[in-house]
A and B are shown apart, each in its own frame.
Chain A
Amino acid sequence: MNTKFISRSEEFLLLAVWRLKENAYGVTIRNQIKKATGKTWAYGALFVMLRRLEKKGYLTSHFADPTSKRGGKSKRIFELSPRGVKALKEVRKAQESVWSGIEELSVPQE
């Protein structure tokens, strides 16, 4: 495996998109992340990350559903690409092997 692991925030984003299925767009992704991690992301950060993930090929997107609440602006609906799924599996595998055998994390005693 030559490519680098995706970063933690990228992992969160990809997972949020996967959980949301067909309804993954800016507002829902942001809410999902807040629900899962308790952290509120700025839209600027969200957009930059999403765009970068898309350029890297982990996400695909299409425009849909311009509602009036949105001032007539389309939603950009994101979907996980096969590469994205693969990247998620890779980090999961790595994560499990790194954490394997550790029952409880505590400060080592002297």
Chain B
Amino acid sequence: MRVMMKKYRHPPQIAGWLIRRMFPDKGGCSTLGDMSETYHYLADDKGLFWARIWFWGQCVKAFPYFLIDELHWRIQMFKNYLLVTVRNLKKNSTYSLLNIVGLAVGMTAFILIALYVQYELSFDKYHANADRIYRVVREERAFTPAPLGQALKEKIPEVVSVARIIRSSNTLISHKQNHFLEEEFYWAAPETFDIFSIPFISGDPETALNDPSAIVLSQKTAKKYFGDADAMGKILIMSERYEFKVSGVFGDMPANSHFVMDVVVPYETYFRITNNDITNWRSNFSYTYFLLRKGADPEGMENKISPVIEIPLFKAAGLKEPYPKIYSIQPLTEIHLHSHRMQEIGANNDIKYIILFSSIAFLILFIACINYMNMATARSLRRGKEVGMRKVVGAQKGQLIVQFLGESVAMAVLAMIFSIMMVLMALPAFNSLVERQLSLNPIHNPQLFLGLVFITLFVGLFAGSYPAMRMSGFRPISVLSGTFTRSSKGSSLRNVLVLVQFSITIFLIICTIAVRGQLKFIKTVDMGYTKEQIITLPVREGSARQNIQSIKTELLQYSDIIAVSTSGRLPNNIDTFTSRDWTGRNPDEPIPIYYNSADYDFIDLFGMRIVKGRNFSRDFPSDETGVFLVNEAAVMVAEWESPIGRKFTHWSGETGRIVGVIKDFHLHSLHRPIDPLYVFLDTRGFSNISIKIKSANIPATIDYVEGVMKKFSPSYPFSYSFFDEVFERAYFTEQRMGRVFGAFAILAIFIACLGLFGLTAFAAEQRTKEIGIRKVLGASDSKIFLLLSKEFVRWVLLANLIAWPIAYFAMNKWLQNFAYRIHIGIVAFLISGGTALLIAYLTVSYQSIKSARANPVDSLRYE
């Protein structure tokens, strides 16, 4: 039998190892044994080579079976997990609903804010060269002199191309009988279409603005004037005088641009029409954008402006050193959120608000997750037996963790589905709250889609992490033997979570109260002028200016019109100023002073008071030749003993006497202190007509005003605003913040209450027996009620102590933005604390009362 005693031949090692990995067979490795045996026979029969090939072939063939098998058992387990999850959901439907709704509300808030933040961060990023486009700004202003652009291009090699832009909002454009006041009207250099990515639909962006009388329109504007007809070559009239020929139509600029152009005409034409000198360094009304050479260092470029452009100018003007550095550059993509200069091209947002809103979003999502953790751990007792059972039959801790995390992810998925529905329902309201057109459309926004998946997973895993860790750690012996009844360890952490939740909630309530308080203050504080029952009309054309006396007379004939006045600026926002030595003290140190031009009726119409001297008056014919009023701040800054009768010079060089001192009024928003101001009597040059009306029959009055205006400037569309609305518009960001805070504070309270409700329910359930015994021994209902509620109340009170200082600090910081502000009184804190406590109490009491009134017979019988 020698043949049978052949030596054992080892099958291929690697293949053998693979087989062992795939089919471990509890250490026995019988599969490998079986295969080795066959290999052995094969080697005898056909030779070692074929045996090896066979062995490897078996190994490869085994792989799909291995995979299918693995999957098979996974699915078996998953089926079980799913079954248990669904059973749990059903069995504790209230609890599940609380949990899912809590998570869904948190996610909804998060998604809404995320949409908003994403949109705000996207501003101007769509330009192909966005990272190389910069804007030059001058000191605190966005305006730059006209010749600056030319100088940049000629003298600084890093600058590839420069675009100069002037905005003239409310410009009248006519086509036949169609007249429109164009809000987004721009004078722009041809390079504009080079630097910014504005795709043309017809016409050539290179040459469209070469002709001085060319006009380029956005698609929607072209449609407005010409309907579906081809706009190219058509004639448009600007301000009833200047003819422009359409030379191009471009696709509407996206709304997430810091300026959106609708009508564009050549930059140089502006100077021709207005008789301005394009080389004058004092003509400060252009925005200057440039394209930086690829790879050039923006900072190095910025440092060149001073020696190459500014200093030669200073020297030429005979100024002495040290020369101030007045120009700086800002990246295009940072303008919308980081630039807060005077004369911005449009209203910008503030990165501070973006950060603030993002923090709120995260806080609310956090509260929602805490809620889940809280309720899941509170519930863990019930699942104790299941965990014990699973462990006894061999479940590993890791498997249990996977199971519980899987459950929380399933919850998160359900919550996400709910939340998407809620977002869709809430979007219109939210859009009007933030004044944006946001949409939940994952097709246009693939990041959003990924984001939603990520949030779901994150919430599921984060909220599930703590309960999973805890529950998987249960010891089967104590769970199954029944000694595991109350977890005192878990309750302390749950209380901390309640504490955190309520701290955040109270913080948000205080913020809401403070912001509202400041807004109310803004509305009610004495600004020094009246805002009510005044309508204002913007005036931008000659015929109304020439006929102003007739207009005034006709308006005043109407019985419900009390007074009419014309002025350069309205009193709520006087932004024109001049910097020079007007105090007569120190010629080397110019002091800025704001100015406004107005007619005789301005002071009276706006209810301002003259504290010294007199108002402009028709009784003094000499007033016609030039007179001034100054405010108290100007007198104080100038340290004039007797301002009345002083000689004063207008910025344009006209001189006259100061005849009166106006009591200080807020000539800017309340963000800024009251600056020195003078008012110059000018009955011809004005941009606003203000009309004081009676409160009755306002629509009829407005109709009458419209009739009068149509008579004197027939082609101009009639537009008017109520002055108090104009006034409030200046506090738009604050109002928005107040509303957002309010809305999200309510959400936070809602989620926190859901959590508290769930927690009390379980606390009461856990203590059913205790309550029963207490009642049998004579405890009254109210005692039991106190017993159940006092614990939560204690934590809510403690939450106040945490939230108060943080909120105080945060809100004080915010209020610093205002030169005139409220002090956050103790009342705000008491109210917020009281509200939180009251809500917590109400939430808790439902359960507490229910358990307190329960019949002890039922509760003690439950075993």
Contact = CB atoms under 8 A, between A and B. Distances in A.
Interface of A: 25-27, 30, 42-45, 47-48, 51-52, 63, 66-71, 73-76
A76 B62 CA distance: 18
Interface range, B side: 20 to 34
A80 to B, nearest CB: 18
Given A44-B65, A48-B66, A26 B58 contact: no
A44 B37 contact: no
B69 interface: yes
A43 B29 CA distance: 12
Contacts of A44: 22-23, 58, 61-66
B34 A26 contact: yes
Given A44-B65, A47-B23, A71 B34 contact: no
23 contacts: A25-B34, A42-B58, A43-B58, A43-B61, A44-B22, A44-B64, A44-B65, A44-B66, A48-B68, A51-B69, A52-B69, A66-B33, A67-B37, A69-B36, A70-B33, A70-B36, A70-B40, A71-B8, A71-B10, A71-B11, A73-B28, A73-B33, A75-B30
Contacts, number: 86
Contacts of B28: 63, 73-74, 76
A30 B69 contact: no
A73 B58 contact: no
B32 A73 contact: yes
Interface of B: 8, 10-11, 19, 22-23, 25, 28-38, 40, 58, 61-66, 68-69, 72
B70 to A, nearest CB: 10
Contact of A73 (B29, B62, B63, B65): B29
B36 A71 contact: yes
B719 to A, nearest CB: 80
Contact of A71 (B33, B61, B62): B33
Given A69-B8, A71-B10, A76-B25, A43 B31 contact: yes
A27 B63 contact: no
A73 B19 CA distance: 13
B48 to A, nearest CB: 15
A48 B65 contact: yes
The 7 A-B residue pairs with the shortest CB-CB distance in the complex, in nearest-first order: A44-B62, A26-B34, A73-B33, A76-B30, A44-B65, A42-B61, A70-B33
A73 B8 contact: no
B11 A26 contact: no
A70 B10 CA distance: 9
Contacts of A76: 25, 28, 30, 33
A47 B33 CA distance: 12
A81 B32 CA distance: 25
Contact of B36 (A30, A45, A52, A73): A73
A101 B58 CA distance: 43
A75 B63 CA distance: 22
Contacts of B68: 48
B30 A74 contact: yes
B63 A63 contact: no
A43 B22 CA distance: 12
A27 B8 contact: no
Nearest to B55: A43
